[in-house]
Each structure stands twice: as C-alpha cells, then as structure tokens.
Amino acid sequence: MTAPERPRRFLRRRGGDGDAWHAVELARHQDRPYTLDYLARFCDDFVELHGDRAEGDDPAIVAGLGSFRGQTVAFVGHQKGRDLKQRAYRNFGMPRPEGYRKAMRVFELAGRLGFPVVTLIDTPGAYPGVGAEQRGQSGAIARSQLLMMGLNVPVVACVIGEGSSGGALAIGVADRVLMQQHTIYTVISPEGCAAILWKDAGEAKRAATALRPTAPACLALGVIDQIVPEPGGGAHRDHAKAADMLGDALAAELEFLDTLPPLERRRLRRQKFERMGAFIE
Amino acid sequence: MMQHDPDQPFDAAKVDDPYRVAPLGPPAPSCIDPETGLPRRRVARLSEIPVEARPLILLFVDQRLLATDVARDTGEQTIEPTHEALLRQWSLLQSWLADDAGLLTMMDEIKRASRDWIANDKVTAWLIHGADRLEAAERSTGLRDAMLAGQAEIGEMPISLAVMDFTFLGGSMGAVVGEKFYRAAELAVDRRMPLVSVAASGGARMQEGVLALMQMAKTVAAVDEVREAALPFVSVLAHPTTGGVAASFAALGDVVIAEPGALLSFSGPRVVRQTTREDVPDDFGLAESNFRHGHIDLIVPRPELRDMVARLAWLLAGGNPYRRPTLIPDLGAQRAMGRILGGARRRITDMLPDRDGA
C-alpha cells in the first residue's frame, strides 16, 4: 500500500481557521431535524418497531420499516429530543445496548427479507452508564458492526448531526457513508477528548480543532463517500428542503447500489473498511 | 504612591508614574490568546500582583476598570478586567502586552504542558514537546506500535497471533494497529490457521481522529473475513481492554477469555461517574462483573492462559485430537507470555515458547 504524507500533516496542523468548533455547534443545533423529522417528511408510510426481544426498548434509537420512493426500506437512526422532557426520554440520543440490539434485529430482518437499509446517525456517543456496561455495551456495538458488514442488502448511512465515537459507528457500517454539509463525524466528542487527554472538559474547543471532525475533512480522509448539501445556513433553517435534499441523495445511492450483485456489494463494503487508515512502512 | 479621592473621576495623568508597574512583569489580569495572538482577559489572583502595585490595582477596581471576586475553590481574592474592550483600547496596556507577548505565550504553554503531564499520570512521553509523541513512545518502549502480530505455535498448533501492548501510548488503536490486526486475520485465512488476539488497550487512538474510529470497522471487517473462511477466532482480554478495542474485534471472539480482575468496559469508571453521577459499583467493568452479566466465556489467570488457548485452538479447529501440552510448570514460557502482555521488546518469534522447550 502507498504511504501518503497527508494524514501526518493533518495530525500536526494546529490552530487552523477556527471552523471546527463552529461545525460542532451547527451539528448540535437544537432546531436541526432529527431522524423522525426526516422519516416523517420523506417516507409515505413508516411503522416503527420496538424492543430488542431480550431486555428492553431504547428510545435513543428508532427503527422500523418505511415506504421510501416506492420501495420498503428498513430505517434505523439515533433520535434526540427537542424539549427537556423529550431529551430525557430519548436520553440525549445516547443509545444503550438494547438500542443496538433492536437495530440488529431490524438489520437481520431487512437482510432476510431483502429490504435495503438506511441509517441516520446523530449521537453524542453510546450511553456511558453502569447498567449499559453491565448489559454489554461494547459487545453490542461490535456485533452490530459485524452484522452490518455481512448484510447482503444495500446499506447507506448518513450523519445528520453528531457522529461521535463507537456509538455512531455501531450503525455506520455501510456501502455508502454520507454526511450532511454541517455535521461532524469524530472518534470521540470534543468534550470527551478533552476530559480524557487533559482531564479538563473545558478544553473542548482545542480538542475540536485537533479532531477536525467536519464533513470536508472526513471526505478528504476517505471516511465518507459524499457530502449531502443542506439549505442555506443549515438544515435547521428549512426542514422541508433539507429532507428533500437528503431524500434525493439517499435515493440516488440506493439506486446505484441496486445495480451491484449482492456478494460483490458485500465484498466492496468490507474492502472499503479494510482500506481505512494510512501508515508508513 | 499617589493619594486618591474616590469621588473624583480617575485621571491617568494624575498617577505620578504610570510606568512604574510595567517592570513588575506581565500585567496579571491579561494574557495572549495562543490561537489568535490577541490579548485576552484572564482571572488573576490578587496574590500574583506585587505588593507595591496593589494600591494601583485597587484604584482601578474603584474606577470599575477591574472587578474583584473570590475564587470558589480556594477562597482567594481574584481580579479581572471588567470588559474585553479595555484590553483592546487601553494603549499603555497594549504596549506592555506587545512587549511581553512572546513571554506570555511561552508561560501559557509551559503551564498547559505541565497540567497535561500531571493529568496523564506524569508519563514521560508527555514531557516531550515539539518532537513527535509517537517517536517518544517508540523510543521508550522499543516497539513500533501497540500491536505485534505474526505466526506462532501454541500446543503444537500453528496460529495467527496478534498481541497488544498497553505500554505503547496506552495500547491505543490507530491505523497501524488496525492494519496489523487485519494482516493477522489475512494470515489466518491464507494459511488456514485459527486467529488469536490478546487485547490490552485504552481504546481508539484519539490523536488519529476519525480514522482511528474507522479502525474499529476495519478490524470488524477482518473478523468477518475469518468468519467467512469458517476459521475460529479466540479473543483474550488482558487488563485493561476498553473503548474502541473492547467494542470491536476484541468482543467478537468465538470464545472470549478474560484475565482475572481485568477492566473491560466501553466507558471507564471515571467517565461513567463524571457523566452520569451514577454510583459505580466496586467491581464495575471488571472481568468478574462482565462474566456475571454474560459478556465473556471464561476467566483464566495468566499462568493457565497458554494451556487454555491451545486447548481451544484444537477444539475449535474441529475433530483434531487434542494433545495436551506439557503439564510441567513452564516458567520460561510464562515469563515469555508475561513479556508479550507486558512490555514486549523482542520479536514475536523470540517470545513464544519453543516447540521442544520447557
């Protein structure tokens, strides 16, 4: 494999244009459309499925079957709440293991019945709670990725807000990974990064700059395949238009993926993730 | 020092020698923003101000140019400029700041660096600045990255082995670790051998950004290759196995073995306590707790690990008669295993027990 210089330079660059924190703030904007806002707008019909068939139903992840531009699609997405009560109910979009197991149940269903899978990513991360760990947070995140890796149906993922850490990636293993223009995708939230590296969550801005989580940065790294445009000023300014733009992008990707033979598609998906990361030998 | 009548408006001209505070060092309630190079407000402790300058400072306080407060944690009296504009418009202060800009920035960086160093348990690698921290880790561990991988033999069964080392940047998983694990999986598939991994990691290498996150998916893809080839994968979790490694390949073994007392969790106890304010049980995230909650198959102490992995490798290979490795306590092999899991400094082939050894 070749040894590109780019990632090292990227790691060393400091300061920059200060856009990183702005991007974080936009991605977290409280008026941004969430998963259910999009589904309500671009699905003709949507039935939400509940429960992981083992120990509970996690409101931080919604999953179900929707009628999308003439075909049934299995949708899975993180869901945040808008007001205080909703936010607490949705646990700020931080899933527990039962959420990932619910997602996996729907992925498996889609694979068995041949529906394409679309996931919408918008989470500050998996929920860091005692119970969540006891019920197997790590294993759930890992198995969800493995299940997605092996699906024989087309899979498209799109970051529609915050894509932080394994909690995002758990439903982010897809043939085509998209990011909306004003969203972020990162290994950890800037606060988390600052808290762990410098034991000071107040250094979040410094961490955001270093993490470079913006869509163009992720595209340049090959982590995502395409940037989905948003209405002027951001998706929060015009939900209807944002949903149209996202819907069009998803439909185009599904149409393209449908032309590939299933096994080839699966092989390419795996190859794409196997090629992530640059190193020098 | 001049007399001051609080009823009279402040007149800089009446201060007998406004420059007398300048040689006392950088003006305490201001600093240089390292990102923009512009002056920025800061909260200074009154004790930072030289005694001779305090009457002047108090005069500024009277005139509402500076505001006083009491620090919540230490109870010390603090001062800060009342308005950011003061720093921009006050030409005298500006000129002092300009003179001392280099010094102030350096002071700030030294303070930050020392805080980072203390926050990271005073690990030597954090003392190295300007140079590459990665190079520092290479020098201090003698390793090229946090994983060693290659073909090995255990209980006379050839295996593909990938072993992590926590001493290398906390065993964090970046592009190199991801690639090494991937190649270990590839090797297993090419030579039809079981894959065995020994994890010891703080998680994804945050310094490598989102590409470090993608190493989770990359290693999962590698496991998928092994599964597709119908080959077994045994995952050993050493202390600690957390974050992105716990939530990717390490969790996906056909058999998952943990060492006693190993911390195995996605979020560490400190993060859980800080974010949720939940009470964290004493055995939070420990192997024993994970075992009770059904996340791991076995807890095996290190001296018995080699034997157990060998037995599993045979059993999972299916139908091959299991020949028990020597039961004579093999201290050399145990030491070798300890070296693999602890601070490995030798090539992997040197560390594995000899076939005819013991």
Question: Tens digit of pLDDT for each residue in B180-197?
Answer: 999 999 999 999 999 999
The separation between CA B293 and the C-alpha centre of its own chain, rounded to angstroms, equals 27
Instruction: Give chain A's domains with CATH numbers.
Output: 32-273 (3.90.226.10)
Q: Which range scores top for mean pLDDT: A196-200, B103-107, B153-157?
A: B153-157
Residue B154 has pLDDT above 60, yes or no: yes
Question: Tens digit of pLDDT for each residue in B14-24?
Answer: 444 444 444 44
Question: Tens digit of pLDDT for each residue in B300-309?
Answer: 999 999 988 9
Architecture of domain B134-351: Alpha-Beta Complex (3.90)
**Mutation for testing the A interface, residue in B213, B254, B256, B279 having most A CBs under 10 Å:** B213
Helices (H), B90-130: 91-119
Residue B228 has pLDDT above 80, yes or no: yes
Residue A240 corresponds to which tokens in the numbers above?
């209807």
Record: contact B216-A130, CB cut-off 8 A: no
Is the minimum CB–CB distance between B215 and chain A shorter than 8 Å? yes
Q: How confident is the model at residue B357, as a pLDDT?
A: 33
* Mean of the per-residue pLDDT values of chain A: 90
Question: Tens digit of pLDDT for each residue in A25-62?
Answer: 999 999 999 999 999 999 988 888 888 877 788 999 99
More confident residue, B32 or B340: B32
Give the residue among A121, A84, A71 at the shortest CA–CA distance from A99: A121
Residue B128 pLDDT level (bands cut at 50, 70, 90): low
Residue B178 corresponds to which tokens in the numbers above?
């991801």
Which of B222, B252, B278 lies at the smallest CB-CB distance from A274?
Answer: B222
Residue in A closest to B242 by C-alpha: A138
Q: How confident is the model at residue B37, as a pLDDT?
A: 63
**Mutation for testing the B interface, residue in A101, A130, A143, A223 having most B CBs under 10 Å:** A130
By the 8 A CB rule, do B152 and B187 touch? no
In chain B, CATH 3.90.226.10 sits at 134-351
Residues, chain A, total?
A: 281
CA dist., res. A164 & res. B205, Å (int): 14
Residue B324 has pLDDT above 90, yes or no: no
Q: How confident is the model at residue B124, as a pLDDT?
A: 67
Tell me the average pLDDT across B112-121.
Answer: 76
Long-range pairs of A6-14 with CB within 8 A, sequence gap ≥ 24: A6/A220, A6/A278, A7/A221, A7/A278, A7/B175, A7/B208, A7/B211, A10/A212, A10/A217, A10/A221, A10/B209, A11/B207, A11/B208, A11/B209, A14/A209, A14/A210
CA dist., res. B239 & res. B32, Å (int): 43
Record: contact A129-B276, CB cut-off 8 A: yes
Tell me the average pLDDT across B2-23.
Answer: 47
Tell me the average pLDDT across A212-230.
Answer: 94
CA dist., res. B38 & res. B94, Å (int): 10
Residue B46 corresponds to which tokens in the numbers above?
């009154």
Residue B331 corresponds to which tokens in the numbers above?
């201290």
**Residue carrying the six token digits 């997605």:** A148
Amino acid at B128: I
Residue B233 pLDDT level (bands cut at 50, 70, 90): very high
Which of A133, A193, A223 lies at the smallest CB-CB distance from B266?
Answer: A133
Residue B333 has pLDDT above 50, yes or no: no
Tell me the average pLDDT across B199-209.
Answer: 93
Tell me the average pLDDT across A127-146.
Answer: 94
Q: Lowest-confidence range among A48-57, B69-78, B245-254?
A: B69-78
Residue B156 pLDDT level (bands cut at 50, 70, 90): confident
Tell me the average pLDDT across B127-153.
Answer: 81
Prediction pTM value = 0.69
Residue B132 pLDDT level (bands cut at 50, 70, 90): confident
Q: How confident is the model at residue A220, as a pLDDT?
A: 93
By the 8 A CB rule, do A142 and A103 touch? no
Express as a percent the part of chain A with pLDDT over 70: 94
CA dist., res. A252 & res. A235, Å (int): 20
Q: How confident is the model at residue B27, as a pLDDT?
A: 52
Tell me the average pLDDT across B197-212.
Answer: 94
Residue A10 has pLDDT above 60, yes or no: no
More confident residue, B299 or B271: B299
Question: Could you write out the DSSP letters of every residue in B212-274?
Answer: HHHHHHHHHHHHHHHHHTT--EEEEEEEEEEHHHHTTGGGG-SEEEE-TT-BEESS-HHHHHH
Q: How confident is the model at residue B144, as a pLDDT?
A: 87
**Which residues 98-117 of chain B have a CB within 8 Å of chain A?**
115-116
Omega within 30 of 0 (cis) for the link into A7? no
Question: Tens digit of pLDDT for each residue in A78-94?
Answer: 999 999 999 999 999 99
Q: How confident is the model at residue A37, as a pLDDT?
A: 96
Q: How confident is the model at residue B335, as a pLDDT?
A: 40
* Mean of the per-residue pLDDT values of chain B: 77
Which chain A positions have a beta carbon within 8 Å of B221's beta carbon? 149, 270-271, 273-274
Residue in A closest to B266 by C-alpha: A138
Q: How confident is the model at residue B20, as a pLDDT?
A: 43
More confident residue, B121 or B255: B255
Residue A268 has pLDDT above 70, yes or no: yes
Question: Tens digit of pLDDT for each residue in B28-66?
Answer: 666 666 556 666 777 777 777 777 777 888 888 888 888
Which of A129, A166, A173 lies at the smallest CB-CB distance from B244?
Answer: A166
Total beta-carbon pairs less than 8 A apart between chain A and chain B: 189
Residue B251 has pLDDT above 90, yes or no: yes
Residue B332 has pLDDT above 70, yes or no: no
Amino acid at A95: P
CB atoms within 10 A of CB B2: 10
Contacts of B172 (CB under 8 A, 6+ apart): B146, B201, B202, B203, B204, B205, B206, B207, B212
Question: Tens digit of pLDDT for each residue in A170-187?
Answer: 999 999 999 999 999 999
Q: How confident is the model at residue B31, as a pLDDT?
A: 62
